[in-house]
């Protein structure tokens, strides 16, 4: 679904991405991991068209990104921190997005109920708690039934019930053939959800494969220690 070839990006003298080659498959959940400054945010923003690479090519659904933004209609994005017009209600925001997209969004009543959001629909977004706004971000990301879901630290700030609902939803979306990409610093969450792990360090992919392969390669008992071993080995190489 997404193919990245020889992607380079620098900000001034800082080289952030260095020749990244990556294929992200449909029907799988891919976790993009890396410490702060590893390049994962820049990689995601490049796919979203929010950052223009210096060199390289990105294909989404077989189409090369060339400045035409229409491909974004196939993407639902959930940022780590959702920022909304504080005076609008969730109901207003959903209507505004529907008008802007010029389409009909899918019925989210079941998911609104699961997230306990029905009673929040008419409240100004600026009055909602951070966790509730995170739930709103999740609903908006999936509102137009996109083929690709990109989620940045999606369970951050969510209570255990909402976190479980969201994770179950991502598995369901994957099982319908969608491409799901997420970042997380919670390795137990990655072990639970990810079919594929992409680990970035210093703008380069250090690992790309199933999570259990990291455990086999490093001999560690869990993913957190396996990732830590990869970082230690690269630091001493």
Q: H-type helices in 38-120, by residue range? A: 40-48, 90-101, 109-114
- Structural contact between residues 205 and 199, judged by C-beta atoms closer than 8 angstroms: yes
* Residue 104 pLDDT: 62
Q: Is 212 left (phi over 0), alpha (psi -120 to 50) or beta?
A: alpha
Pick the CATH number of 2-83+146-236 from 2.40.160.40, 2.130.10.10, 3.30.750.24, 3.40.50.300: 3.40.50.300
Beta pairing partners, 135: none
Helix (H, G, I), strand (E, B) or coil at 80: coil
Structure confidence at residue 233 (pLDDT)? 85
Beta strands in 12-69 (DSSP E): 14-24, 29-33, 55-60, 63-64
- What pLDDT does residue 20 have? 97
- Give this prediction's pTM: 0.93
In tens, the pLDDT along 78-98 reads: 998 888 999 999 999 988 888
Residue numbers of the chain with a pLDDT score lower than 70 = 103-104, 237
| Cα atoms in the Cβ-side hemisphere of radius 13 Å centred on 115 | 26
Residue 170: Cβ within 10 Å count: 21
């Amino acid at each position: 679904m997404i193919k990245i070839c020889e992607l380079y990006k620098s900000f001034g003298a800082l080289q952030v991405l260095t020749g990244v080659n990556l294929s992200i498959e449909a029907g799988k959940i891919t976790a993009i991991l890396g410490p702060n400054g590893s390049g994962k945010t820049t990689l995601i923003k490049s796919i979203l068209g929010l950052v223009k690479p210096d060199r390289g090519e990105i294909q989404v659904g077989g189409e090369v990104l060339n400045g035409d933004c229409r491909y974004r209609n196939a993407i639902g994005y959930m940022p780590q921190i959702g920022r909304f017009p504080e005076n609008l209600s969730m109901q207003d925001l959903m209507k505004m997005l529907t008008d802007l997209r010029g389409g009909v969004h899918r019925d989210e009543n079941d998911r609104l109920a699961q997230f306990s959001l029905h009673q929040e629909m008419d409240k100004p977004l600026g009055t909602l708690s951070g966790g509730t706004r995170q739930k709103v971000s999740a609903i908006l990301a999936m509102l137009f039934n996109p083929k690709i879901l990109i989620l940045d630290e999606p369970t951050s700030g969510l209570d255990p019930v909402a976190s479980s609902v969201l994770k179950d939803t991502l598995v369901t979306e994957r099982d319908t053939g969608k491409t799901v990409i997420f970042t997380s610093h919670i390795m137990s969450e990655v072990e639970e959800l990810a079919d594929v792990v992409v680990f970035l360090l210093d703008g380069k992919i250090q690992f790309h494969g199933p999570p259990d392969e990291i455990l086999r390669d490093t001999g560690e008992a869990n993913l957190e220690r396996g990732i830590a071993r990869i970082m230690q080995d690269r630091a001493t190489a």
